[in-house]
Amino acid sequence: MDSPEEQLESLSKKIEEREQLARRRAWFITLIPIVFAGLFLTYTIWQIAQAELKLAQKTSELAGVENEITVLRTQLPEAQATLGAMQAVTDKLQADLSQSESALATATAQLSETQKELDAARVFAQNSCPIDEMVLKEYTSNYTPQAQALLYLIGAQLDKKVPWNPGGFSETAGFDSPNFALYVLQNAIPGFPLVSAEYQPGALPWNILQPTAAPQDGDIVYYQSGYTMFYYELPISYGAAEKMKCVIGMAPLGIISQQLGFAEYLGALKVPYP
């Protein structure tokens, strides 16, 4: 059995060992937060470094963008001037295009009108009733009002000074076909208008005169196309009994003489000669 001194020494050693163990545990426990704090600090420093690096990159990028903006602002007036010039060119091209389209439409309309005139001229040439000395002799020797009216028409045709003019109503300004017929009815026989002088331009003869199924010299024949002509007959040759049925009046080519069937015939009107 150990002596009290030995037991005390043993106990002192155990106490010392336990104190050392406790100090080691305390030191270890104290060290852990320090290590974690160090690690966290290191990680924080690394994040700050990364953030600074990114900030530097973004700052560099921002500087580049600002530089580009500066360049663009410098180029903007030139670009605006170029855009304005291009817009002006575009507007001019658009105006030129519109003008060209208008000119094309006008030329097309003129071509169409010219084609109509050519077609009409061809029809007129194929259906002409010639005014020659025989015709003049026929009506000059005849003093009837019908002959006077027809001589007026023949004289106007030979004179070739009365122009075609849609809506016109004078020998200088010209006539369309119905207005010319109305003018002749009012003026061909001096001092004796065949219809009232109160009728104004645009008054259509078929609304004034009575229809007739058998027109005679000086009566009016009207057509689908609007032509309003004066009817007359000519011997087909000198001294012949057979006669050619003709009409004379205003057309786009001027005053012309045509065979009765030169256009689609609608009807005839009786002129009230005295």
Half-sphere exposure of 192 (CA within 13 A, CB side): 10
Instruction: Give the closest residue to 95 by CA, choosing from 84, 85, 103.
Output: 103
Domains of the chain, by residue range, sit at: 1-126, 129-270
* 3-class DSSP state of 190: coil
Three-class HEC string of 35-79:
HHHHHHHHHHHHHHHHHHHHHHHHHHHHHHHHHHHHHHHHHHHHH
Average pLDDT over residues 235-245: 74
Provide the β-strand partners of residue 270. Answer: 210
Determine the Cα–Cα distance for residues 224 and 173; give it in Å rounded to an integer. Answer: 25
The mean of the pLDDT values for the chain is: 82
Task: Kindly give, in sequence order, each residue whose CB lies less than 8 Å from that of residue 126, ignoring residues fewer than 6 positions away.
Answer: none
Q: CA 58 → CA 44, 135, 220, distances in Å?
A: 20, 108, 99
Judge whether residue 68 has pLDDT over 70. yes
Higher per-residue confidence, 50 vs 112: 50
Report, as an integer, the average pLDDT of 139-160. Answer: 71
Say what the pLDDT of residue 142 is: 59
Contact 143/157 with Cβ under 8 angstroms?
A: no
At residue 140 the predicted structure's pLDDT band, cuts being 50, 70 and 90, is low
Homologous superfamily of 129-270 in CATH?
endopeptidase domain like (from Nostoc punctiforme) (3.90.1720.10)
Pairing of strands 210-212, 265-270: antiparallel
Residues of the chain with pLDDT > 90, as a percent, come to: 22
**What pLDDT, on the 0 to 100 scale, is given for residue 40?**
74
Q: What confidence tens digit (pLDDT) does each residue in 172-190 have?
A: 889 999 999 999 999 888 8
